[in-house]
Structure 1
C-alpha cells in the first residue's frame, strides 16, 4: 500500500512540484514518474546493453535466413540457385553484412558479460572501457572480415 507524502513545505509536497517528476493518478494519489531513458544520462554501458538486445533480435531474424538456406538446399539445385542469387545481390550482401555485425556485437558483449559475471571489471571506469571495447571490436572485426572477403574475391558485387 502506498501513501502520498503528507503535505508540507513545497520541497516535500509533490503536489507543489514544478519539475514534472510527479504525476497525479486517476485515484488522486501523487506518485513519482518512473525513470526512463529520457531521464537518465546516457552511459556507454547503457548503450552496450541496448545493443546486445538489438543484436540478439537481429540474429533471431538471421536464423530465418539460415533456415531458408537449408530449405533451398533441400529443395534442389534450382531453389538453391535462386536463393544464392538473391543473397548474392547487393541487398542480400547488405543483409548478411548486417547479420555479421550483429553477431560480432553480440559475441563481444557476451564475452564482456561473461567476464563481468566472474566479478571482474565491475568498477565504473573498467565497465566503461569494456563496453567501448565490446562495441568497437564488435563492429571492427566483422568489417575486417568483409574487407577480406572482397579483397580475396570470395564476394563480389
Structure 2
C-alpha cells in the first residue's frame, strides 16, 4: 500500500530540533548507557596497569607514568563521575522495577538528582581520597 503521507512526517523520532524535544528521562537513560560503556575504558586501563606490573618493571613504569599523568587523572575523574552516575541509574531502575517513581514528573526529578548527585559524590570522592 502506498504511503500518501511520506513527505510530511519526520524520518526518525530521534531527530532533534523541530521534530523531537529531548526529555530528561530519555537523556538520562542514554547517558546511563554511555557511562556504562565509558567505564570499560577505565577498567581496561586498570587491567593494563596490573598486567604491566606482572610483566616487568619497565612496562609498569610506562603504564604507571601514563595513569599518573594529567590525562590519566582526567580519565579517572570522569570515570568516578560515570561510576556514580551509573550507580544512580541502577538505583533508579531498581525503583522502577518495584513500580515506584514511574510518573513523568518524578522520573524527570530523578534524572536531575542523578546528574547532581553524581557530581556531588564525585567531589566528595576527590576530597576523601
TM-score band w.r.t. shorter chain: 0.7 to 0.9
Higher-helix-fraction structure: 2
- Which structure has the bigger radius of gyration? 1
RMSD of Structure 2 on Structure 1 (CA): 2.0
SS of equivalent residue, structure 1 residue 104: helix
Structure 1 partner of 2:106: 126
Aligned-pair CA distance for 1:3: 4.3
Aligned-pair CA distance for 1:58: 0.4
Residue of structure 1 aligned with 2:9, choices 21, 31, 37: 21
Q: TM-score under structure 1 normalisation? A: 0.71
SS of equivalent residue, structure 2 residue 21: coil
Aligned-pair CA distance for 1:126: 1.1
Structure 1 partner of 2:12: 34
* Per-residue Cα deviation, 1:26-54 (whole angstroms, up to 9, x for no partner): xxxxxxx3322412212111110111011
Unaligned segments of structure 2, at least 5 residues: none
Flag as ranges the 4+ runs of structure 1 deviating above 6 A.
none
Cα pair distance change 1:113/1:37, threshold 3 Å: farther
Unaligned segments of structure 1, at least 5 residues: 6-13, 23-32, 150-157
